[in-house]
Structure 1
Amino acid sequence: MQELPTGDSLGLSIGLHAAHNLRDIGGYLTADGRRVRRNLVYRSDVLNPLNNEDLRKVGQLGLKRDYDLRTTDEISRQPDQIPSGVTYVHIDILADANSIAPAQLMALLRDPPKANVELGSGRIEAMFADAYRKFVSLPSARRGYLKLFEAIADAAALPGLYHCTTGKDRAGWATAALLGLLGVPADTIMQDYLRTNDYILPYYAAQIDKFAAQGGNREIVIAILGVQPPYLEAALAEMNALYGGFDDYFDKALGLNQVSRERLRHLLLE
């Protein structure tokens, strides 16, 4: 039997020309010594633009479903490109949100002086922390994550992939929550979460440099395009304050019953 990779070899991008943050969430050890199965659940950034080689590699994953967690506006600008035979499922996590939209943030990046005023002095970091708290409490987020995890609990729907635009926030919380339910330790969850920076920030390096060259505060654009521990910590604190932990979050916030939670563990752990 082939030995599974461990440590830094886990959570790696599959190496596409685009969708740089497409990663298998499997391989991680749980606190009780089990391991998350590989080749069943993938997280990603937007599946556009994919070239022919990208599509070939994605096709090799054998996906049954593609869960798109973005808003309708995001989808209209960059619709997914998926191999034939993959079922597309739209789940708008932020449908009920009234905070600044991702598109508005990207527009501000085209005006560095204005971004400095509106997003500097810790404002953007506070906005992201608030957004992460909403991943836990926002009604559309609770409905959406329930739909996602109910689907993943169906063996006939696996392998599956979920994604947002950069694969770091909405998809980041989905991954943290799922790994937490499976019993993966907190430090491992954070390690997987922060690995996004290894793939997203280099991809946007030219945009970051341009923003800084035009007078923008480099830390602002990095805070928008990357991830930081306080973001995920805000969601975890909200979850613990409202529900007490991952199992009760899945039960009370999402309404995923015990049978489905145990089915997730049975399907995704070995």
Structure 2
Amino acid sequence: MDEMVVDGALNFRSVAAYPASGGRVKARTIYRGGAFEGLGEAGAEAMRRLKVRTAFDLRSEAEKARSPSPLLSIADFMVVSEPHMIRHGDLYAVLANPGSSAQACADVMKSIYATLPADFAAIYRRYFRTLAETETPVVVHCAAGKDRTGVVVAMLLDLLGVNRDDIMEDYLKTNAARDALYRRLIMHSHGVDYGAVADHLIEPMITANAAYLDAMFATVSRDFGDMATYAERALQLSRGDIETLGSRFIE
């Protein structure tokens, strides 16, 4: 894994230089991760050395209110964020039921991924337009660096012409951070006593499962045919916008 050592950053890494349309993804232009809650001066200095100037913070307003981004304290650093809410109701119902199965939890996770292309279209529109206008490198992050981040990075890589196997490889690298994700889940329960939730239900939540990302791609394929058409119709990106993304992130 192309890991970066950034003290206080969760599940942080660079997206690899995968083959893409007309070349390869530029090395160390796309970073991804989870929360930066523990970022201190050493971590901030590491971010400066990486020359990252823009972060796409995919966390909800409630998450940001509880844990304001320390990246905002880095001089000349821009944090791009949009208000949103993920529909977690079915997931919380499964977790509250002692008789729930791991498969039931995994099925809810798949359904969440399947709804993101439609539910987050307006948000993705701004993110991708800003990506096309922003100098690299950039960092995309949410709370865990798995679901919301995983989908945005997968969409970007697809638009860059990266093949599905490599996109999935990048997504599944998150599983190396499962222990850290579990610790964060317990520490930041926010109204859910995850310590009382059975381990077999926690596992599907903290695991990057290929079936989850496949559910997102299946929705895009069913409703639009491919990611480029989704970007044009749902995100209102022009062919020029998509070409600009290529010029930013492909060499």
TM class, shorter-length: 0.7 to 0.9
2:19 match: secondary structure: coil
Specify the alignment match of 1:165 in structure 2.
Answer: 143
Which residue of 51, 68, 71 corresponds with 2:57?
A: 68
Note closer, same or farther for the CA distance 1:206–1:70 as it changes in structure 2 (3 Å cut): closer
Which residue of 88, 102, 113 corresponds with 2:79?
A: 88
- Of all paired residues, the percent bearing the same amino acid is 24
Provide the alpha-carbon RMSD of the alignment: 2.5
Measured after TM superposition, the shift of residue 70 of structure 1 is 1.2
Specify the alignment match of 2:9 in structure 1.
Answer: 19
1:18 match: secondary structure: coil
Note closer, same or farther for the CA distance 1:251–1:229 as it changes in structure 2 (3 Å cut): same
1:116 match: secondary structure: coil
Measured after TM superposition, the shift of residue 143 of structure 1 is 0.9
Letter paired with 1:153: A
Residues 40-55 of structure 1: matches in 2 within 5 Å? 40-55=29-44
Q: TM-score, normalised by structure 2?
A: 0.86
Measured after TM superposition, the shift of residue 44 of structure 1 is 1.5
Letter paired with 1:17: D
Conserved in 2, the CA contact under 8 Å of 1:116 and 1:220?
A: no
Measured after TM superposition, the shift of residue 101 of structure 1 is 9.1
Which residue of 46, 55, 59 corresponds with 1:57?
A: 46
Q: 2:167, 2:57 → 1: CA distance?
A: 22
Q: 1:194, 1:131 → 2: CA distance?
A: 17
Q: 1:205, 1:99 → 2: CA distance?
A: 18
Measured after TM superposition, the shift of residue 22 of structure 1 is 1.8
Q: Deviations over 1:113-172 (max 9, x none)?
A: x4533x53522111111111111111xx111111111111114x4322221110111110
Specify the alignment match of 2:117 in structure 1.
Answer: 136
Instruction: Count matched residues.
Output: 241
Q: 1:20, 1:13 → 2: CA distance?
A: 11
Q: Which of the pair has the greater relative contact order for Cα pairs under 8 Å at 6+ separation?
A: 2
Measured after TM superposition, the shift of residue 26 of structure 1 is 4.2
Note closer, same or farther for the CA distance 1:115–1:65 as it changes in structure 2 (3 Å cut): farther
Measured after TM superposition, the shift of residue 215 of structure 1 is 7.3
Q: 2:181, 2:152 → 1: CA distance?
A: 23
1:145 match: secondary structure: helix
Q: 1:207, 1:217 → 2: CA distance?
A: 16
Note closer, same or farther for the CA distance 1:217–1:269 as it changes in structure 2 (3 Å cut): same
Note closer, same or farther for the CA distance 1:161–1:208 as it changes in structure 2 (3 Å cut): closer
Letter paired with 2:145: G
Conserved in 1, the CA contact under 8 Å of 2:35 and 2:141?
A: yes
Specify the alignment match of 1:154 in structure 2.
Answer: 133
Measured after TM superposition, the shift of residue 99 of structure 1 is 3.5
Letter paired with 2:157: L
Q: 2:112, 2:197 → 1: CA distance?
A: 23
Which residue of 218, 238, 245 corresponds with 2:199?
A: 218
Note closer, same or farther for the CA distance 1:220–1:252 as it changes in structure 2 (3 Å cut): same
Note closer, same or farther for the CA distance 1:52–1:260 as it changes in structure 2 (3 Å cut): same
Conserved in 2, the CA contact under 8 Å of 1:45 and 1:166?
A: yes
Structure 2's unaligned 5+ residue stretches are 187-194
Residues 231-242 of structure 1: matches in 2 within 5 Å? 231-242=212-223
2:31 match: secondary structure: strand
Q: TM-score, normalised by structure 1?
A: 0.81
Note closer, same or farther for the CA distance 1:88–1:37 as it changes in structure 2 (3 Å cut): same
1:50 match: secondary structure: coil
